[in-house]
Amino acid sequence: MRMKTILTLLLMAAISIPAHGQETAEGWLEEGNALYIEGNYEEALLAFEEAISLNPEYPLAWNNKGNVLNIQGDYEEALLAFEEAISLDAEFAMAWNNLGIAHYYQGDYEEADQAYEEAISLDPEYADAWNNKGNALYSLEDYDGAIEAYDEALDLNPEMTTAWYNKGNALHSLEDYDGAIEAYYGALSLDPEYAYAWNNLGIALEALGRTTEAEEAYARAQELWTE
């Protein structure tokens, strides 16, 4: 059974607001970041575009514009934005990672994997890129490769809940139900209200004939989904 995997989408860290505020590209970038964090994506996009109009060679603004477009489901335009960021700074690991996410959302898993590889080659300690690489390999049904990538992510960040969850899904796909259960519990130890982890824990427990425990896990997932 194919499980749901979780990707991490990254917004470039905010920079300090210049004294002259929104009169500069940096000021508009900061404004866009604040709007993005608030979930006001339409206005965030406008702010990033203002930053780009003032400085068309601003890779941070192109990257963050791409993130908004990804969230809005405009993956083609997101790809163009990330590609522009990379053309301006070929060593921009975060833009490579986010380019991979845009490819992933379009179902281009091999291209996504290549983009994540570029991010990792630039920053081998980029835990999110390792996690996302695992998702691409999972979708290509390379479950062993996915587990290796998730393990790399967890070595770098043992508290990455999504990597524990995604590793559980890959182990489940290999019918390693005991391993999957351990991974789901790893996710739940970090986030006890992770409904998908409770649900998939139930599936793995059921596969081992642990019906009572499975029903309890399903019930907990349902409680969380209906809250």
Which residue in the block uniquely carries the two structure tokens 């477009």? Answer: 69
The residues spanned by each domain of the chain are 1-123
CATH superfamily of 1-123: Tetratricopeptide repeat domain (1.25.40.10)
Q: How far apart are CA 116 and CA 126, in angstroms?
A: 10
Query: Phi then psi for 51, rounded to 5 degrees?
Result: -60, -45
- Cβ atoms of 149 and 156 closer than 8 Å: no
Per-residue pLDDT of the chain in tens (227 residues, 90 and over written 9)? 556 666 554 444 333 334 445 689 999 999 999 999 999 999 999 999 999 999 999 999 999 999 999 999 999 999 999 999 999 999 999 999 999 999 999 999 999 999 999 999 999 999 999 999 999 999 999 999 999 999 999 999 999 999 999 999 999 999 999 999 999 999 999 999 999 999 999 999 999 999 999 999 999 999 999 98
Amino acid at 77: E
Whether 165 contacts 196, CB under 8 Å: yes
Q: Give yes or no for a contact between 72 and 66, defined as CB atoms under 8 angstroms apart.
A: no
User: Who contacts 68 (Cβ-Cβ below 8 Å, separation ≥6)?
Assistant: 32, 36, 41, 44, 45, 48
